[in-house]
Amino acid sequence: MKSLILEKDSVHKWYSILTMIYVGTDHRGYELKEKMAKKLTDWGYDYIDMSEKKVEGDDYADVAIRVAEKVAGGKDRGILICGSGGGVCITANKVTGVRAGLAFDEKQVRKMREDDNINLLCLSADWVSESRNMGLVKTFLETIFGSEERQIRRIKKIEKYESNQC
């Protein structure tokens, strides 16, 4: 497999052409999602909001499944938000082809993209500041999978396990 080598300045242009970003949240992450959507637009990214209107008592699992099904196995990426981030992450990872990661630190996000090729970022609206979450999103969108043999080998093992379970 050949690696795609891109100059840092061309990452956004390349990414925008090839990828759609699906975003979703429950009521606890709604305000953060609205601010993130504005940032995505400001940064020049296209996105589709899969969230319901802000409704108390909605279930994070519903939006997590909708977003995860859009992202599964393709080139698109997703961003999910709930209070802790854990609920949407657990749910999204039940969908075959999704590699969701719950993030609290930009270095962590960078490593999850480079090494694990996560295709869905999960965020906590309650435990992580708005500015930190925006940094996590930007890092997620700007970091490219490392494509080294060991990284590909590990992902293929996950895919093989998933295919044997279905």
Q: What is the pLDDT of residues 99-147, one digit of tens each?
A: 999 999 999 999 999 999 999 999 999 999 999 999 999 999 999 988 7
Task: Tell whether 155 is covered by a domain.
Answer: yes
Query: What is the per-residue pLDDT across 138-162, written as a single tens digit (0 to 9) for each?
Result: 999 999 988 788 888 888 998 898 8
Which position has the higher pLDDT, 39 or 10? Answer: 39
Entry pTM: 0.86
- CATH number for the domain spanning 109: value is 3.40.1400.10
The count of structural domains within the chain is 1
Nearest to 145 by CA among 118, 122, 108: 118
Q: Which domain holds residue 106?
A: 18-165
Task: Tell whether 11 is covered by a domain.
Answer: no
> Using 50, 70 and 90 to split pLDDT, how confident is the model at 6?
very low
Task: Tell whether 1 is covered by a domain.
Answer: no
Give the catalytic positions in this structure.
82
The dihedrals phi and psi of 24, each to the nearest 5 degrees, come to -160, 155
Task: Tell whether 5 is covered by a domain.
Answer: no
Under 8 Å between Cβ of 22 and 72? no
Question: Is residue 72 pLDDT above 70, yes or no?
Answer: yes
Task: Tell whether 3 is covered by a domain.
Answer: no
Task: Tell whether 136 is covered by a domain.
Answer: yes
**Amino acid 2: pLDDT:** 31
Nearest to 121 by CA among 106, 149, 130, 129: 106
